[in-house]
């Protein structure tokens, strides 16, 4: 069984999708449609930058969604048995599963990115990667610091021993200090515009709630393993609730990959910019069959193997 995975923020880079846009009419149509739907030249920022503009949350999120979705459309008969996306990537997974239309997913992602960026400006926060400590130990440190200093909580359970925390600058700094004292191999602050997947994103959650209420969501045609529970959902009501909770709740990626494997997934295919999820799955499920599809050569190889099969 095959699971398709879609990346989240941080995978963007200037030039993403440019060559595919030039060489493929399907991608051109999708990208031009996106510019029309959003009312801005998102593709110009994707293809030409500048980098600091693309890295802004309000641009990075729709850019990654667009790139991942467009690449997926070039695959011949991909036949995913299940899908999942990391944070933002969950919207791509839902569009692929036909729970959201392309236009609606793109509009939600644009609003989500803008709302998260503005929430970060209103309530400054940051995130840090903690490497080499048990998840439970990091969670305990977060709990203690939260009680003593300010908001901080696990934000991304990315793989065993790799966890991202999120919260106020002071609380995150203290968490990094205590993690190092507890034996962490690395505690590194991330270059982000806010405390994503923490209570500091509540203003963004409120804005997204209204948009979700006004957006049609259908039952998914493919099981979608959602971030907040790491469980497969298909019902529209469950999808709506998961998308809303996601902004202030941790991304349970380790459990998601484990649960997909337990459900029968024996091949994982990351579609979109970068290879972050490929690396995470290899650490979560050593020896698993994992591939990434981003460039034309990888698309051609996938399609050739699918045809042969």
Tell me: the pLDDT tens digits for 225-244?
999 999 999 999 999 999 99
Residues 165 and 20 grouped into a single domain: no
Token pair of 112, please?
């989500």
Nearest alpha-carbon partner for 139 in 118, 164, 116, 158: 164
The candidate with the shortest Cα–Cα distance to 165, out of 146, 183, 182, 149, is 146
Same domain, yes or no: 79 and 204: yes
CATH number, residue 163: 3.30.70.250
Residue 194 maps to a domain: no
User: Which of these is catalytic: 197, 198, 256, 292?
Assistant: 197
Is 67 part of the annotated catalytic residue set? no
Inter-residue contact 154 to 142 (CB < 8 Å): yes
Question: Which residue of the set 11, 68, 87, 193 is catalytic?
Answer: 87
> Residue 256 has what pLDDT?
98
Percent of the chain with pLDDT over 70: 99
Residue 197 falls in the annotated catalytic set: yes
Predicted pLDDT at 308: 55
Q: How confident is the model at residue 79 (pLDDT cuts 50, 70, 90)?
A: confident
pLDDT digits (tens, 9 = 90+) for 14-36: 999 999 999 999 999 999 999 99
Q: Do 217 and 97 reside in the same domain of the chain?
A: yes
- Asked if 276 and 133 sit in the same domain, the reply is no
* Short-list 204, 242, 260, CA closest to 94: 242
Query: Within this chain, do residues 116 and 156 fall inside the same structural domain, yes or no?
Result: no
C-alpha distances (whole Å) from 104 to each of 110, 183, 296 are 10, 45, 27
Residues 37 and 177 occupy one common structural domain:
no
Q: Which helix (H) or strand (E) holds 165?
A: strand 162-167
Q: Does one domain contain both 38 and 181?
A: no
Give the sign of the dihedral formed by CA 201, CA 114, CA 246, CA 267.
negative
Domain hosting 154: range is 125-189
In this prediction, residue 306 has a pLDDT band, given cuts at 50, 70 and 90, of confident
pTM exceeding the 0.85 threshold for the entire prediction: yes
What are 125-144's pLDDT values in tens digits? Answer: 999 999 999 999 999 999 99
User: At how many degrees (to 10) do helices 89-96 and 57-73 cross?
Assistant: 30
């Amino acid at each position: 069984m095959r699971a398709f995975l879609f990346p989240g923020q941080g995978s963007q880079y200037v030039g993403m999708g440019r060559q595919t846009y030039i060489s493929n009419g399907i991608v051109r149509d999708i990208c031009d449609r996106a510019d029309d739907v959003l009312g801005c030249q998102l593709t110009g920022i994707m293809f030409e930058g500048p980098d600091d503009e693309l890295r802004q949350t309000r641009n990075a999120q729709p850019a990654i969604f667009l790139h991942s979705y467009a690449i997926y459309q070039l695959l011949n008969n991909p036949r995913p048995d299940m899908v999942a996306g990391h944070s933002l990537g969950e919207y791509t997974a839902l569009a692929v599963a036909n729970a959201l239309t392309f236009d609606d997913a793109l509009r939600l992602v644009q609003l989500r990115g803008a709302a998260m960026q503005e929430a970060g400006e209103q309530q400054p926060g940051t995130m840090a990667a903690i490497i080499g400590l048990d998840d439970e130990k990091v969670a305990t440190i977060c709990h203690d610091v939260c009680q003593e200093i300010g908001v901080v909580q696990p934000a991304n359970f990315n793989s065993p021993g790799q966890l991202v925390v999120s919260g106020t600058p002071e609380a995150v700094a203290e968490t990094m200090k205590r993690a190092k004292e507890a034996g962490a191999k690395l505690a590194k602050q991330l270059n982000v515009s806010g405390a994503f997947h923490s209570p500091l994103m509540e203003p963004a959650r409120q804005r997204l709630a209204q948009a979700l209420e006004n957006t049609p969501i259908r039952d998914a045609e493919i099981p979608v393993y959602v971030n907040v529970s790491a469980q497969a959902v298909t019902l529209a009501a469950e999808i709506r609730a998961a998308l809303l909770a996601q902004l202030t709740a941790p991304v349970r990626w380790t459990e998601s990959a484990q649960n997909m494997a337990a459900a029968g997934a024996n091949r994982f295919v990351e579609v979109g910019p970068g290879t972050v999820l490929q690396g995470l799955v290899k650490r979560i499920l050593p020896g698993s069959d994992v591939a990434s599809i981003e460039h034309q050569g990888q698309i051609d190889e996938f399609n050739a193997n699918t045809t042969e099969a």
